[in-house]
Structures are given as structure tokens and as C-alpha cells.
Amino acid sequence: MWFSKFSAALIGFGFVQSKADYSLFTRQQGESFFVLLVYVNDVLIASNDKKQVKEFKVLLDQKFKLKDLGELKYFLGFEVAKTAKGISLCQRKYALEILKDVGLLGCKLAKVPMDHTLKLSKYEGELLDDPSQYRKLVGRFLYLTIIRLDITFVVHRLSQFIAKPRKTYYAAALKVLHYLKNEPRKGVFFSASSALHVKGFSDLDWTSCLDTRRSITGYCIFIGDSLVSWKSKKQSTISRSLAEAEYRLWLCQHVKLCGFFTC
């Protein structure tokens, strides 16, 4: 009911609700552009017109009684640093909290999140006595993948085994923590001077899943020098050749780019 009332007020102020993300609202008035993002009772506002932002805050305060926290620096585990060159996002504090909770804050450093020769199967290895510790850890990793492209592939592999986690999976998850300790500040940077040019990169690992023999694909999309979207997933069907797997990857990439422009 709160969100319904708040969104109705925003629409009354001239905002348009996004169909891709219902918590996202935008407004264009001449050269003034607003972006507003809502999470429960927390609101983020971005605009190229500071005067309009001040006036809009007054309107919201009259209707809902706001508490202005000033420039964005920390939000839902994200650390935000803004300079003339652009905006940097990282999850350093959140990553260190995971290390502390698991007891690996003083662990040795690792240069990679997973050994590239490691092959995991849901039928091999001894089952964990307490599956919840693995499930909780992988769940926290998934939140890190919002920004951490470098661990996305590994975390998606580990998340396939949460039904019956084994000790080999947990050991692989701990290796990710050793990697996070090495570079907890790593994140994404959105440049303020990038050209408005969309480009994408993709790759695949043919029949790499030991259990299903399906291929694993991945892609990332840039606007200029800024990384805006990435994903790795298992193909829905078995590809009988590398050419067939590459065709499915190209088709997925094409659909993603078309959907990106539509949004």
C-alpha cells in the first residue's frame, strides 16, 4: 500500500514508471532529466538539474516528510564514489563482512576465484553435515555478482549444487573468499566521458557441464567504456557441435541487445 501511494504520487508529478523495473521512475522536461529509484522507504534521485532536484525534494517532503541524507555514498551494501571522471561502485564493506562471518578475514590471498581445471559434479564428493552454511554463503555471493563480474561465472556454477551441497563445493566456495580478500574494492566504473557506443563480448565452454553435457555461455555489454550488463548461464539444450553452441550463443546475445534497446 505504501508503494502504491508513493508511485501514484510520482506519476502525478509527471514521472513514468519503468516496465522493466517497477521501482524505477523517470521524467523528462525539456533538458531536465530525472531518474528516481525506490527501495521500500529509501529513495535515490539522479538528475542533471540541481535546482529542479531541490524543488522536487520540497514537494516530496510536503507529501511524505522526507529525511534528506545528502549525496549518495552508501546504499544497500554498495559504496559509491563520485568524481569528475565518473562514478565508481564497489561492495568492499559487504565482502569484508562475509570474510569476517566465515572467519577468513586473515586468510591467504588468491589470484583467481576458482581453479580453471576444477570440474564439479552433483554426484561426486562427501555430503556436508550442515547444508545451510553452503547455501547461506552462495546466497551472499549472489548479491556480490550485482557488481562483481569477475566472480559471476564461478558463483553461478556453485549455485547449481545448493540442493545437496558437498564438501568439494564448499572448498571451492572458500576459494572465492580467498580471492575476495585479495581485491575487496574491485567493482565497476561508469565513465563521465564515454562515447555513446554499444558493444558486446561473448564466449562459451562447450559441453563443460559433467552432469548434463550442456554448454555454458557468457556475455557482457558495454556502453562506451562502461560495463552495464553481464551474465553466464547454462544453455537450455545440448549442442551436438561447437558451431551449434556458438549459434545459440549468438542468438542469445542478439536477443539481449534488442531487449536492451527496447528497455
Q: Does residue 148 register a pLDDT over 70?
A: yes
Confidence (pLDDT) at 233: 73
- The closest alpha carbon to 49, from 70, 61, 34, belongs to 34
Q: Both 59 and 135 in a single domain? A: no
The DSSP call for residue 204 is E
* Average pLDDT of the residues in 135-141: 93
Q: Give residue-wise pLDDT tens across range 202-231.
A: 777 766 666 666 777 778 888 888 888 887
State whether residue 65 is helix, strand or coil: coil
Is residue 226 a part of any domain in this protein?
A: yes
Is residue 65 a part of any domain in this protein?
A: yes
Q: Both 51 and 119 in a single domain? A: no
- The closest alpha carbon to 229, from 262, 192, 256, 191, belongs to 256
Is residue 140 a part of any domain in this protein?
A: yes
* Average pLDDT of the residues in 31-60: 86
pLDDT grade, residue 260 (50/70/90)?
Answer: very low
Confidence (pLDDT) at 122: 77
- Which position has the higher pLDDT, 230 or 99? 99
Cell, residue 233: 548461464
pTM of the model: 0.73
Q: Give residue-wise pLDDT tens across range 231-241.
A: 777 766 666 66
Edge to edge, the sheet with strand 86-90 lists: 74-75, 78-83, 86-90, 187-191
Confidence (pLDDT) at 10: 87
Element (H, E) at 37: strand 32-39
> What value does the mean pLDDT of the chain take?
82
Is residue 32 a part of any domain in this protein?
A: yes
Confidence (pLDDT) at 258: 54
Q: Give residue-wise pLDDT tens across range 70-84.
A: 888 888 888 888 888
Q: How many domains does the chain have?
A: 3
Where would I find the H helices in 26-91? 50-64
Query: Domain span at residue 178?
Result: 90-182
